[in-house]
Amino acid sequence: MKKSVGILSGLAIAIAVATTAGAWYTGKQLPAELDNALVRSNAELQKALLGTGGSMSIERVSLEQRFFSSTAQYRLKARDINLGEGEVLNFDVGVTDQIEHGPFPWSRVKALKLMPVMAVSNSTLQKDDASAPWFAAAGEQAPVSAQSSLGYDGSVDSQIRLAPVKFNQADGNSLDFSGMQLQVSGDRQGKASTFSGQAERLVMKLVSEDQPPATFELNGLKVAGQLAATAHEAVYVGNVDLALAETKVTLGPRQQVLLLKGLEQNVQQTLDGPDTVGGRVEYKVGDISWDGRAVGKAQMAVSITSLSAPALQALSTWYQAHLPEFEAAAAAGQPVPEIQMDEAEKARFHADLQKLLAAKPRVAVENLSFKTANGESRFDLSMGFAAPASFDLPPDQLGKQLITEVKGKLSLSKPMIGDLATLQALLDGQTDAQAIAMQSSQAGEMAGMMALQSGMATVQGTDVVSSLHYADGMVDFNGQKMTVEEFAMLMASHLGALSPQG
């Protein structure tokens, strides 16, 4: 018995010594770790705000250190961030961070998280004149709070909470947000991260004097992803997935409802070679209805393959250097300006562009499709590129060397066209079922007749099909082979016949 008590006493003393030593070590390391985190955060904010014309930064105002805990004060400042339509975002808010020293912070011990960490950060937005409306909308809770665990290897695990908020303005505009939980993990250098989050509901009502009110309701938001840096600074690989269970938009004089269910966006970027990167974005809408009537479902994917990562990084650097010129033109409502470059810069730009095209990148729109109860239409397009001998070639020669292949196919379902005609008739208030059925059948058949008469497509079963394949200077259009010049003349004649003057 005495032996057991001795062992337990020795263990308690060992834990106490380890805790005290760990707290002392954390106190010594903490300022440097906080500075490192601020540098990374400000660099990421700068990247995220490219193109907005503004800036955002975090600075540490003070750090009060104690043996087992510390308190840090920060300021988060946003300046002239362009929100579009002439709106600019500016704010200056304070953040308080209560830091528990490791290796066994009490908040983790209470949650039975017994792995040692350097520190636990508990940060909340401060209430002041600037943030008081946010606090009022959140029921006097902190609108934003976070708890982050800092490992001894520099890794960070964070739980971020956006509190539920409600705004009800005198003019009828309102916002009701259920709040959001985010989980983020990353390494010391910010080169690898995983994240996930979910929010139940966001309802926003917009009212104006000359328009009927519009209400937007988003339900069941989920976001998740994993990103990792590569040897090329501007290139990350990984995935970002976004899903909305339901999106409801109510608008117009009759307050009609557009309902989208099962909306998804999935983004993936990979290294498809030692120095080439590829990406793919998929969009899906599981079910679409309008004014209570079923419309259909839709999906689309866009992919890019074989992009030279070094060239992409160099061109990204060039773009950032000239970003102020693009922003100034956009602010003035002018088209993209012609960038003035000296001969050395022009040579570098062309060399990087040559390197990008030398990898023979491809861009594709895959399965852009729309499906109704009785039919499905779809469109596919892919284009291949190569580096031309020179960018100073005449336009026709440059185009032939720059674009190596174009392949596209459009397939319109006549039953799908009929389904949409039926929907339009019902929404217009028609009630004669026989007349509606006849109009719908005629709509599909008329599309087929127009396609044949124009020469722009063929009819295959119940589908109106148009196909194009270009390679090696020759075009195959709906089975007819011709030169590029002959194809241009054919398109001009067809489009002229379809115009009102024709």
pLDDT value at residue 495: 66
DSSP string, 226-248: EEEE-SSTT-EEEEEEEEEEEEE
Contacting residues for 53 by C-beta, under 8 A, at least 6 apart: 80, 81, 82, 327, 331
* Residue 131 burial by Cβ neighbours in a 10 Å radius (0-12, 13-18, 19+): buried
Q: What is the pTM of this model?
A: 0.82
pLDDT value at residue 6: 41
Render pLDDT for 43-60 as a digit per residue (tens, 0 to 9): 777 776 766 667 788 888
In this predicted structure, the answer to whether residue 332 has a pLDDT above a threshold of 80 is no
User: CA 213 to CA 249: how far, in whole Å?
Assistant: 11
Q: Which amino acid does the sequence have at 461?
A: G
pLDDT value at residue 76: 85
DSSP character for 502? -
HEC string of 82-146?
Answer: EEECCEEEEEEEEEEEEEEECCCCHHHHHCCCCCCCCEEEEEEECCCCCCHHHHHHCCCCCCEEE
In this predicted structure, the answer to whether residue 229 has a pLDDT above a threshold of 90 is no
Count Cα atoms within 13 angstroms, Cβ side, for 210.
0
In this predicted structure, the answer to whether residue 466 has a pLDDT above a threshold of 90 is yes
Number of neighbours of residue 479 by Cβ within 10 angstroms: 8
pLDDT value at residue 12: 38
Q: Which of 70-84, 174-188, 348-362 has the lowest mean pLDDT?
A: 70-84
Of the pLDDT bands very low, low, confident and very high (cuts 50, 70, 90), residue 21 is very low
User: Average pLDDT, stretch 374-394?
Assistant: 93
User: CA 138 to CA 201: how far, in whole Å?
Assistant: 15
Average pLDDT value for the chain: 83
User: Average pLDDT, stretch 288-313?
Assistant: 92
In this predicted structure, the answer to whether residue 161 has a pLDDT above a threshold of 50 is yes
Q: How close are the terminal C-alpha atoms of the chain, in Å?
A: 106
pLDDT value at residue 186: 84
Number of neighbours of residue 76 by Cβ within 10 angstroms: 18
pLDDT value at residue 9: 41
